Structure 1
């Protein structure tokens, strides 16, 4: 899938990346897809465009991409790293406020009640 063009400019600005090689562009696309997958598996669906919730979602994806970009090495030298508390608060808040789709009526009214 990769980074949608509409998102790419803000993602690159957030990560402070410019002048990427074709290989780095490919890596950025993989990291973006992984971040979106993480959000989905965490129970947070991609919200509609131009909503405050979408801004929060995009910010979480940006955090995940930047963290993965910065921590590509297998080994760490120096202090032990920890998760960004702002990211954790935002992700938790999004998970707790995820719209409930379990009570939406998805049955076809012409088919009647399921048997």
Structure 2
């Protein structure tokens, strides 16, 4: 399970507008771990702390956690359901700029 530090948890609580004392705050560690797992499955590794890529990565995680928090029901109501296009653009940018390990093909 991905580690949710107290600082990162505070950021997610603020982003999702959840009071730390609400029962819903107990759901964040699972949502965070699932979101990190989703990004890994999408081919995006956790970038180095303090980089621009890390800021984008954390923003994607925020989007995913909030989406999981807001869509806790097994059914979705409404006329239009679509992925957030900004999230898709950021995730794709992270995938396209993912560092490639040295494959031994250079001289």
**Unaligned runs of at least 5 residues, structure 2:** none
Q: CA RMSD in A?
A: 1.7
Measure, in 1, the Cα distance between the counterparts of 2:100 and 2:66: 29
Counterpart for residue 60 of structure 2: 60
Counterpart for residue 45 of structure 1: 45
Counterpart for residue 77 of structure 1: 77
Q: TM-score, normalised by structure 1?
A: 0.81
User: Is 2:22 aligned against 1:20?
Assistant: yes
* Bigger Rg, structure 1 or 2: 1
- Contact 2:15–2:62, Cα closer than 8 Å, also in 1: yes
User: Is 2:12 aligned against 1:11?
Assistant: yes
- Contact 2:44–2:98, Cα closer than 8 Å, also in 1: yes
- Contact 2:13–2:25, Cα closer than 8 Å, also in 1: no
Measure, in 2, the Cα distance between the counterparts of 1:56 and 1:10: 14
Q: TM-score, normalised by structure 2?
A: 0.87
Measure, in 1, the Cα distance between the counterparts of 2:55 and 2:48: 10
1:55 is paired with a residue whose SS is helix
Give 1:14 shift: 1.0
Give 1:102 shift: 4.4
Counterpart for residue 99 of structure 2: 99
Give 1:101 shift: 1.1
**Unaligned runs of at least 5 residues, structure 1:** 105-115
